[in-house]
Copies of this chain bind each other. A is one copy, B any other.
Amino acid sequence: MDISIEILSERFKLLGDKTRLSILALLRERDMCVCEFVEVLHCSQPGVSQHLKKLKQANLVREYRKGHWIYYQLNKEEIPELTIYMVDIPNLKKYIDQEQVECEA
C-alpha cells in the first residue's frame, strides 16, 4: 500500500484530536449514539456531531438509526489499516456500560 503523504497526514490530523480519538476508542467497545458521547466526553451535542461528521467523511465510522437514536460504529471492514493506528489507543471500557443501553424514549 502506498498512501500519499498528503492523504496520510490528513488521516493523522483527524486522529490528532482528543475528542475524536476518544470517540474511536469508545466505538472499539461497542456502537454508541450521539447522546452517549455527549455524556461520556463532556462535550456539547453540536461539538460531538461535528466531530462525528469528520470521522464519517473520512470513512472511519458509519451510522445507522435505531428508533430515536442514531448509532455510530467503526468502519472496520472497509478500513482494516485503521487498526494499525488504533493499536495504542487506550481502553475506555471503564467509562461506559458494557451493554448497549436502551435509552428511555
Complex copy number for this chain: 2
CB of A14 within 8 A of chain B?
Answer: yes
From B5, B10, B16, B88, contact of A3 by CB (8 A): B88
Contacts of A81 in B (CB 8 A): 88
Interface residues in A, total, Cβ within 8 A:
30
Known: A12-B12, A84-B84, A85-B85. A90 touches B17 (CB 8 A): no
Q: Which of A12, A15, A17, A84 has the most CB of B within 10 A?
A: A12
Restricting to A1-15, which residues have a CB under 8 Å from any CB of B? 1-6, 8-15
> What 0/1 pattern do residues 13 to 56 of A give for CB contact below 8 A with B?
11111101110010000000000000000000000000000000
A residues near B (Cβ < 8 Å) are 1-6, 8-18, 20-22, 25, 81, 84-85, 87-92
